[in-house]
Structure 1
């Protein structure tokens, strides 16, 4: 009985961690996309160095 409870707890923890990682990944992707867009705009305008906004 104890093993089953421990396993269930581990699974719940694993799922929670996965959700957190997914959220972090989404945030990273959004951040990267924004950075890419700003660098593209800067390149189009002929600015050599991209100033962080």
Structure 2
């Protein structure tokens, strides 16, 4: 995200064996990635991010 210079919110659906580890890595990375659990949660977070909520 930093290397690409993205200035839009990025939502990532994390599920599976290493989902918790991935969330920890993302939260410590300092990049503005919004983690989501499942497609419904991801869709809600995308809408909220697009609306600036």
Indicate whether the TM-score tops 0.5. Answer: no
Larger Rg, first or second structure (1 or 2)? 1
Higher strand proportion? 2
Relative contact order higher in (CA < 8 Å, ≥ 6 apart)? 2
Using the size of structure 2 for normalisation, the TM-score is 0.30
